[in-house]
Amino acid sequence: MFTFELHTTCGNARAGVFHTPHGSIPTPIFAPVGTQATVKAVQPRELRELGASIILSNTYHLYMRPGDELIRDLGGLHKFMAWDGAILTDSGGFQVFSLGDFRKIDAEGVTFRSHLDGSTHRFTPEKSIQIQHNLGSDIMMCFDECPPPLNRDVVRAACDRTHAWARRCLDEHWRSGDPTKQALFGIVQGGIFPDLRAESVRTLRELDFPGYAVGGLAVGESKAQMLETLDQTMPLMPTDRPRYLMGVGSPEDLVNGVARGIDLFDCVLPTRVARNGAAMTRVGRINMRNLQYATEDAPVEEGCTCYACTHFSRAYVRHLVKANEILGHQLLTLHNLHLLLTLMREMRAAILDGTFTAYAAEFLANYRPTGKEANAPPVG
Amino acid sequence: MFTFELHTTCGNARAGVFHTPHGSIPTPIFAPVGTQATVKAVQPRELRELGASIILSNTYHLYMRPGDELIRDLGGLHKFMAWDGAILTDSGGFQVFSLGDFRKIDAEGVTFRSHLDGSTHRFTPEKSIQIQHNLGSDIMMCFDECPPPLNRDVVRAACDRTHAWARRCLDEHWRSGDPTKQALFGIVQGGIFPDLRAESVRTLRELDFPGYAVGGLAVGESKAQMLETLDQTMPLMPTDRPRYLMGVGSPEDLVNGVARGIDLFDCVLPTRVARNGAAMTRVGRINMRNLQYATEDAPVEEGCTCYACTHFSRAYVRHLVKANEILGHQLLTLHNLHLLLTLMREMRAAILDGTFTAYAAEFLANYRPTGKEANAPPVG
């Protein structure tokens, strides 16, 4: 269990398989996010149909509601949400650190107030691991501090805390968990500072985790800074363990991440933009509310083989979005997840074929990014 | 096309088949409602999986958004919403008459303001038929006036108008439509007054519609009054045409309606109560928010074979409802539609077997109705 087979590389891109108690995950792979024990607007049977092999769920949210002990008593998270593929849980750290005025950090842990009812709670590295034990995820994450990435002093302090807490997480997992049933991954911090990243990798490698995440990116730095950080950090990572880039999931970031040796991604982006009425495509994001789609009989994305694109027109999807119909959320979510999971499959095949470099170059040449890094307006 | 085969009767209950250009509909049958060209939270492939053979969609809503001419230009409503089963459209009458201060009735039609943007529109019998031609539904309904059912003078005036408009609808359909592709049903009005109902049936029978609806019920009268009206009216209806009870869809009403010779029902109830977090069951409606379900590993309804009940626990469904997750709407909608469509199949089988009377008696003995007619509190 939890062995990683690296099949081949193409440049820095890697194709492999990560074995878990809930199936073998072909890498590189994207994990759809099911924050509250459901990937929003998608049924588990549809996740299978989309080819998903791993999803992410959130420790903070499940601890709050319905409670990790309830989920344990009902047979664990896989049974609770009827998903028999692999599950990765985050540590809750990112959420509780995001609570701002509602949390207080000390050397031992974080005390915070619930976003639901204001009640007071406390997470420590040990508590985070205990919750993840109750959830029964295949991959658990260390309780870490994810700081804003640009302030060196803040980042250094967060690294020190993250490293100390990583040891405590590992100790707790060995003490009260079963490392043959659940794998604990370490999280590299260090912001945009190469020496801090290097030190973080070095420190965590000593703890010999079965997988390593790159945390603290896609949280405020520019895309160029993110890619530069990956360029500097990835060569230091062990080659025989899966590498996970947390919270990243735009099509161009997936391609750029795979090109730098990332094996695993997760992000709310495809499901969130779907509920905002936008479709991800191979040429950029499109807003389905736009008037130009009102009369278009073409599918959301030409050539796409997802359920939405093989059955419905842009005009229909736009109508659903404008009328605020749940089916609009469903269809766009299916499409966006289908695109990202298809991209991952295509990239894996290209790595195995030795054609990944050309694949990535062609994809990025055709793609118009959205948001502050984009120079071109979104398509549509 | 549009022939009705009556296979057998059991008491007043009837089992038959109604043939349409989009499939043969086994009767008695329930039509899920897809107001805005989508049965809320359900995909067309799931409607098929549930065994639905006909759905209802709303002329007023589709005229307003996205527009019936757009739907016509895109190939009609079946293609637009990717539903290749039968579709029944209402006339828009019920909606525009419900607009209260925003509508003005005259002998020729109704002038009203849009609920979306306040713009002024006018429906006449001819206009309603033209819109339904553009939508391309299999079964069209006459533009009628559905009055509050208890005031005799109001009901009498509405009957006269309904009958005059029924002739105009038929004329318009023969003038500009294709009666081999779309069937126009007449609507019997008359409130709770037996003589007015009898007169309405007599008048409409002279127009020789391929099917007849009982309108103006389930709109304010008591359940006892509704059933009494059916008892008096149904014996007067032609036996060789399908009979449609509009806007009725609680489990007990379906059983009581079939027992009185109704062949077709539609109602928003199963989909609406699902989105409110309630499940319909064979013993009554249950509110999934109730604390008692928080830890229950049992399915929403024991023995149910729907996707929700075969994969998820009450605890999980309650969690989804409490967390306001779309999947909660999806699962409860699938369950409620599965229950009603299963009840219809069971009733049809019991009629064919000659055991319907016992089936209905047993069902009603076990069922605890919800709402003002119920003496017992809802289960749970």
Report cis status (omega within 30 of 0) of the bond before A28.
Answer: yes
Q: What are phi and psi of B281, to 5 degrees?
A: -135, 175
The CA distance from B359 to the nearest CA of chain A, in Å, is: 34
| Candidates B68, B144, B263, B266; catalytic one | B266
Q: What is the pLDDT of residues A209-261, one digit of tens each?
A: 999 999 999 999 999 999 999 999 999 999 999 999 999 999 999 999 999 99
Mutation for B interface: A73, A327, A332, most B CBs within 10 A = A327
Inter-chain CB proximity B66 and A326 less than 8 Å: no
Distance CA B47, CA B33 (A): 11
The CA distance from A321 to the nearest CA of chain B, in Å, is: 11
Residue pairs between chains A and B whose CB atoms are closer than 8 Å: 101
Check residue A345 and give its pLDDT: 98
Q: What are phi and psi of A21, to 5 degrees?
A: -65, -15
Neighbour tally for B84: CB within 10 Å: 12
| Candidates B90, B138, B144, B263; catalytic one | B90
Check residue A379 and give its pLDDT: 31
Give the residue on A whose Cα is nearest the Cα of B39. Answer: A327
Contact A186, A209 (CB under 8 A): yes
Check residue B371 and give its pLDDT: 59
Strands (E), A22-138: 23-27, 29-32, 54-57, 86-89, 103-105, 110-113, 120-123
Read off the pTM. Answer: 0.96
Clarify whether B171 is annotated catalytic. no
| Residue A126: closest CA among A99, A67, A166 | A166
Check residue B101 and give its pLDDT: 81
Catalytic residues of A: 90, 266
Check residue A39 and give its pLDDT: 98
Inter-chain CB proximity B329 and A325 less than 8 Å: no
What tens-digit pLDDT sequence spans chain B (380 residues)? 999 999 999 999 999 999 999 999 999 999 999 999 999 999 999 999 999 999 999 999 999 999 999 999 999 999 999 999 999 999 999 999 888 888 999 999 999 999 999 999 999 999 999 999 999 999 999 999 999 999 999 999 999 999 999 999 999 999 999 999 999 999 999 999 999 999 999 999 999 999 999 999 999 999 999 999 999 999 999 999 999 999 999 999 999 999 999 999 999 999 999 999 999 999 999 999 999 999 999 999 999 999 999 999 999 999 999 999 999 999 999 999 999 999 999 999 999 999 999 999 999 999 999 854 443 333 33
Inter-chain CB proximity A82 and B295 less than 8 Å: no
Check residue A54 and give its pLDDT: 98
Cβ neighbours of A309 in B, within 8 Å: none
**Site of tokens 């501090």:** A145
Instruction: Tell whether A114 lies on the interface with B, counting CB pairs under 8 A.
Output: no
Inter-chain CB proximity B38 and A327 less than 8 Å: yes
Inter-chain CB proximity B307 and A41 less than 8 Å: no
- Burial (CB < 10 A; 0-12, 13-18, 19+), residue B208, is exposed
Scanning B62-101 for CB atoms below 8 A from A yields: 65-66, 70, 73-75, 80-82
Which residues are CB-contacts of B200 (< 8 A; sequence separation ≥ 6)? Answer: B159, B162, B163, B188, B189, B190
Inter-chain CB proximity B82 and A311 less than 8 Å: yes
Distance of CA A221 to the CA centre of its chain: 17
Instruction: Tell whether A117 lies on the interface with B, counting CB pairs under 8 A.
Output: no
Contact B282, B339 (CB under 8 A): yes
Cβ neighbours of A42 in B, within 8 Å: 327
Check residue A102 and give its pLDDT: 86
For B316, the closest of A45, A80, A329 (CB atoms) is A80
Distance CA A116, CA B112 (A): 44
Check residue B377 and give its pLDDT: 34
Edge to edge, what strands does the sheet with B264-267 contain? B29-32, B264-267, B243-245, B212-214, B183-188, B139-141, B86-89, B54-57
Check residue A85 and give its pLDDT: 98
Give the residue on A whose Cα is nearest the Cα of B66. Answer: A319
Listed as ranges, residues in chain A with pLDDT below 50 are 372-380
Inter-chain CB proximity A323 and B36 less than 8 Å: yes
